[in-house]
A and B are shown apart, each in its own frame.
Chain A
């Protein structure tokens, strides 16, 4: 990773985050590494509870009050975000990094007009209100809201869910940030709207040139949108690489299992989504050895005693944490 530091926009290194809950410490993120280069779209996938949102929130300094960054750094444009004060972080938020949330129905303030909200987020700019209003209307038009000018004085509940998510995306891009974090922005939408929103994100990304960290459950969407993929399991990054490599040559048994569960790959459609057998380990007491061991169909003796290192896998910058990739160990599998 060090060889590409100059061209890196965001570089998360060895990030560990604990949550304090009823006296126990939940190790929600452990030694996470993440690289995002300017203008690239990086997908973060994993089952529910793997720490995707925790990672996404940490990037914009919006972790819950009971969270603590135990170790690691979040380098972004020459600053370590993990060490910024609230005040310093506020200077970055909304301007250099912005965020789109999962539920568009609750993300906008219900008693303030869309226009007011879009003008308020430009509070740092030295522009007249009329100018701010014009820019807001312009952005509404860009994200495909018809009749933008007059819709500025509408309230969020007067828009459909899909429209609201478009507005949220527009707001997030209004200040032309270098990095956009999208935490499951389409999960709350139905399939047709999801396709539209993804298409919009893709177009806008090309127009604005920002990098995107895109969190999703949906592998098809990730394959469609992203350049690179990071696979998380139980608070650890287990595999990462270019989208092509991850989908064609998944190297970690967890990624392989995820892909087998993907509805897009299943011949006979069913109502019930297939799931990986077993449950996530207790994050308060993560097991010794490989974190995926209890559910891994390929586990062997070494997996119980030794945590796998970050091995190189097939393809450029493709890496996975599985002993099977260790040349010396392959024979014993």
Chain B
């Protein structure tokens, strides 16, 4: 178990390292000189040259990458080219907003998805099952930013039930501001999770061990909640763990549409401004979160299922 976690962490470091190299390379392929962006179009060639030197942009690509790694080990992700503030502090000040949004989206959609999935499996073929199926397929096929836009137009602009922009303050204030973006991100996940849970629940309810539990006179309630559900949610946990990357991209859209602070808003601005250090910092942190999310989902599955636990 411990070995598994350590091995996975080592793998995570490797993934992050590869991501850094690829990102450095990619950013250099994007047209537009960052020094020109910073200094404005009227900067003299000497000034541009001096700034390039100061930022290390004159050195070869591999030296830049190695320097970046070296700094990273010291917790230094560089400085914002415009304000000179540390990238780490900027990114970590925005990260909680995005994590809260993603967590809120996942919690409500997983809870509802599991309930609908189980119910559809028990009442297979009922009108609730059929309409849940149709609704799932239709929400899965609508992109989350379309949901976000409609949510914004109907509930914020039209009905004025929820605020349209910002993040709010205090617990309830923040929760109020979270509703629409979390709805937009989570809605298609409700359908996904419901489908997956329904399929696995149907399989399990037909399994031999459920028949055996019935043969011992156990109540359906106990069979479902303490025997079947643990197995039925396994694929949903995996789905969520590997889906965190999609949740992040949905969060970027939602943050831009609802003008929420967060990694998404930060990264979009940084890309537009060619603010390399910020872009790199954001992507780095995002990659780490995504890699950790898969690790967490594997650990949750291991906790639920002893066979997985032993395979670790």
Contact = CB atoms under 8 A, between A and B. Distances in A.
A110 B212 contact: no
Contact of B212 (A91, A107, A155, A157): A107
Contacts of A91: 217
B307 A107 contact: no
B18 interface: no
Nearest to B222: A120
Interface of A: 60, 62, 90-95, 98-99, 101, 103, 106-112, 120-121, 123-124, 155, 157, 168, 171
Given A155-B306, A157-B306, A157-B307, A109 B215 contact: no
Nearest to B307: A157
A90 B231 contact: no
A94 B217 CA distance: 6
Interface string B218-243: 11001000110011000000000000
Category for how many chain B residues contact A: 20 to 34
B9 interface: no
A171 B212 CA distance: 10
A98 B231 contact: no
Given A108-B209, A124-B217, A171-B216, 19 more contacts: A90-B217, A90-B219, A93-B216, A93-B217, A94-B215, A94-B216, A106-B207, A106-B209, A107-B208, A107-B209, A107-B212, A111-B231, A111-B305, A120-B216, A121-B217, A121-B218, A155-B307, A157-B306, A157-B310
Contacts of B307: 110-111, 155, 157
| Nearest 7 CB-CB pairings of A with B | A94-B216, A93-B217, A94-B217, A106-B208, A121-B216, A99-B215, A155-B306
Contacts of A90: 217, 219
Given A92-B217, A123-B218, A112 B208 contact: no
Given A111-B231, A157-B307, A120 B218 contact: yes
Interface of B: 207-209, 211-219, 222, 226-227, 230-231, 304-307, 310
Q: Helix, strand, loop or mixed for chain A's interface?
A: loop
Nearest to A113: B306
Nearest to B209: A109
A107 B215 CA distance: 11
A106 B219 CA distance: 20
Nearest to B234: A111
Contacts of A120: 216, 218, 222, 226
B214 A62 contact: yes
A62 B215 contact: yes
A93 B209 contact: no
A108 B212 contact: yes
B259 to A, nearest CB: 45
A90 B310 CA distance: 35
Contact of A101 (B208, B222, B231, B304): B208
Contacts of B231: 110-111
B308 to A, nearest CB: 9
B56 to A, nearest CB: 54
A93 B305 contact: no
B213 A109 contact: yes
Nearest to A104: B208
A112 B207 contact: no
A109 B222 CA distance: 13
Contacts of A94: 215-218
